[in-house]
Amino acid sequence: MTKKIFQSICIAAITVFFISLVLIIGVLYHYFSGVQMRQLQIQADLAARAVENGGLSYLESLDTNDCRITWIDPRGIILFDNRASSLGMENHLEREEIVDALAFGKGESKRYSTTLLERQLYCAVRLADGTVLRLSASQPTWWSLALGMVQPILLVAVAAVGISLFLAFRLSKWIIRPLNTLNLDELESAAAYEEVTPLLERIGSQQEKIRRQEAEAEQMRREFTANVSHELKTPLQSISGYAELLSEGMVKREDVPHFSKQILAESRRMIALVEDIIRLSHLDEGADDMQREEVDLYELAALTIRNLTPAAENAGISLHLNGKKTTLYGIAFLLETILFNLCDNAIKYNREGGSVTVHIDTTPQAVLVSVSDTGIGIPEPEQERIFERFYRVDKSRSKAVGGTGLGLSIVKHAAIVHDARIEIDSTVGKGTTFTVIFPCK
């Protein structure tokens, strides 16, 4: 930032200097040109009066190199010229200053000489006898004048550039010093520029937001640890209790298969819980190592329904699939996980004789996957929390139907990986519809 400020100040200062130099030379040139023309007019008037009184003898007696004096008769023929012989000189009747002098008494003109790099100023006065006396003086052009002043201009330019660099260096340091000394931990007392205040306010807001997020994340970590411990403690206590009874020989022979099945069931529950935790951790990291491909969602939904048909039949639930062949570029395993968890929940939290319908649809902007059930529904105050890890709306029913309490959390994270969002439409006692909206890319 210091470098940019330094460069900006230098460029601005040097640019202003050269523009000012050009303007000053132009203004001064115009001013002195006017002064020289007025002096020439005065000289012409004085010379005209003298010629009227003294005639040709006055002109021949003059010894001046300041200006050129030419005397012209009304026909444009040169009568006298102090710089050249009048014989053989071209007729001046059509010269601008001569035409004006003959018509109005006085005439002026300016003409450039590209070969001599100078400008000629002419002032003509008509005498009483009808002749015209003309005085002319040479004036350098502004750029030839500038060329003649190259050395002083260069000296001034070098000095100006040096001063500009020095001031730019000091100013850039001075401007940036308050920003370099900012204490971002004490923004309220930070002495900065008024223009920086919005930035400091945003930084403060972001810091506060980060602090809140860190506190929320810490709270979620603690809750997650407590929930995992609680969820693992129950099956472990069951396994430990059954195993202890078996090891102590306190179980009747005919009850051994029952206890073994209980140990197996609790073990599988622990394995499922650990697998879901690992899956969530993987999704939290972004799942960048998982391969993406073109996936037929309709075919994937049909496969999911076939896999869940036995569980649905046991619960007295009918499964249905609507829609059409729809492809989506994504991670097949995660898309299957979304469908499986939504359908599995729709079966578990349904009523006997109810139904589950999966609908696959597309719009110009998105691919839609919806899972509808005729189950118990979700109270509106609970709908914002159902994606939290281990959160259960009906805890007693959740324990009865099983599950790890992580299914919808996995669905949410899998949707995030695909830049999708989830919408819920639920009425208590009538059913719930989950709609996952995948944006078209």
DSSP 121: E
DSSP 109: E
The answer, as to whether pTM is greater than 0.85, is no
**Bridge partners, residue 120, by sequence:** 111, 138
d(CA 326, CA 369) in angstroms, rounded, equals 10
Give the chain's length. Answer: 441
Spell out the per-residue pLDDT of the chain, length 441, in tens.
Answer: 667 777 777 777 778 878 887 787 778 777 777 888 888 888 888 888 888 888 888 887 877 777 888 888 888 888 888 877 777 788 888 888 889 999 999 999 988 755 456 778 899 999 988 899 989 888 776 666 666 666 777 787 788 778 877 777 777 777 777 666 666 666 555 555 566 666 667 777 777 787 787 778 667 667 666 666 666 676 777 778 778 777 777 778 787 788 788 788 778 777 777 776 777 676 666 667 778 899 999 999 999 999 999 999 999 999 999 998 999 998 888 898 899 989 999 999 899 899 999 999 998 889 999 999 999 898 888 888 888 777 666 554 445 555 567 778 888 888 988 899 999 999 998 999 999 999 987
Question: Terminus-to-terminus CA distance in the chain, angstroms?
Answer: 38
Query: What percent helix, strand, coil does the chain show, rounded to 5?
Result: 55, 20, 25
d(CA 422, CA 238) in angstroms, rounded, equals 37
pLDDT score at 396: 47
d(CA 341, CA 411) in angstroms, rounded, equals 7
d(CA 116, CA 178) in angstroms, rounded, equals 59
Are 46 and 38 a contacting pair, CB within 8 Å?
no
Are 200 and 183 a contacting pair, CB within 8 Å?
no
pLDDT score at 397: 47
**Bridge partners, residue 366, by sequence:** 439
Q: What is the CA radius of gyration of the chain?
A: 50
pLDDT score at 61: 80
d(CA 298, CA 188) in angstroms, rounded, equals 57
Scanning the structure block, which residue is given the tokens 């819920």? 424
d(CA 376, CA 354) in angstroms, rounded, equals 10
Q: Number of helices (H) and strands (E) in the chain: give both, helices first.
A: 10, 12
Which residues, 6+ apart, have CB-to-CB distance to 33 below 8 Å? 121, 139
Compute CA distances 87 → 71, 78, 84, 154, whole Å.
13, 8, 9, 47
- Closest by alpha carbon to 412, among 424, 403, 426? 424
d(CA 262, CA 49) in angstroms, rounded, equals 138
Which residues, 6+ apart, have CB-to-CB distance to 203 below 8 Å? 184, 187
